[in-house]
Amino acid sequence: MNPNTHRAFVALGSNLHSPERQVLAGFDEIAATPGVDLLARSSLYRTAPVGYDDQPDFINAVAEIRTRLTPAELLDELLAIEASRGRVRDFANAPRTLDLDILIYDDLQLRTDRLTLPHPRAHLRAFVLHPLVEIAPDAVIPGLGPAWHWLAGVRDQDIRRIAEEVTFRLALGSLVGAT
Ligand code: ADP
Ligand code: MG
């Protein structure tokens, strides 16, 4: 990849159609995107839904990438991955097959019609902060400071890291027969 690259973090979330598998497939599709190198994948986390309660729990994770894509190009690629996994936009906070958001792109602060960076709610969500700090303890949210500073503010949010072993079995596709 050419030297003119950028470091970014992408949030993955799903609560439909085998959410663990959706998120693991999301990692793979990000890794397969031209112009994107996947540097790190967080553990999977299980969280209660925010906003609209009457829906299944979410599985969330964060990916660290290096990319030569612009933020707009990266968003296009992520939206294409969402679409390929059958996501239909119904209403705000509705159940979704796969949601991919750009959390951080270098130290960029930006607000356009289709893209706000950093993601405006990143520092308020346990399901973003925990996986982010897991893979990048030094992560800084542009304009808001170190990500770990915000962990205290999300202490009351219900989140559980899924055991490595389960994640590993899912990745192998060998969950059937597991105890
Ligand atoms: P949300 O992720 O907020 O639950 P959606 O996934 O439906 O909602 O996103 C709606 C729109 O949000 C996207 O089409 C995109 O244009 C816009 N958007 C703004 N900022 C971002 C960002 N940082 N990452 C991803 N999408 C963003
Ligand atoms: Mg989104």
Instruction: Output the DSSP codes for the chain.
Output: --S--EEEEEEEEE-SSSHHHHHHHHHHHHHTSTTEEEEEEPPPEEE--SS--SSPPEEEEEEEEEESS-HHHHHHHHHHHHHHTT----STT---S-EEEEEEETT--EE-SS-EES-TTGGG-HHHHHHHHHH-TT-EETTTEEGGGGGGGGTTS-EEEPPHHHHHHHHHT--TT--
What are 72-124's pLDDT values in tens digits? Answer: 999 999 999 998 887 666 666 555 689 999 999 999 999 999 999 999 999 99
Whether residue 178 is contained in a domain is answered as: no
Segments forming the whole domain that contains residue 150: 6-172
Q: Whose CA is nearest to atom 10 of ligand 1?
A: 114
At residue 175, does pLDDT exceed 60?
Answer: no
Q: What CATH number is associated with residue 34?
A: 3.30.70.560
Asked whether residue 177 is domain-assigned, the answer is no
Q: What is the pLDDT of residue 178?
A: 45
Q: Which ligand 1 atom is nearest residue 78's CA?
A: 25
Q: How many domains, in total, are found in the chain?
A: 1
Does the C-beta of 132 come closer than 6 Å to ligand 1? no
In a domain, 125, yes or no: yes
Q: Which atom of ligand 1 is nearest to the CA of 113?
A: 16
Average pLDDT estimate for 144-173: 85
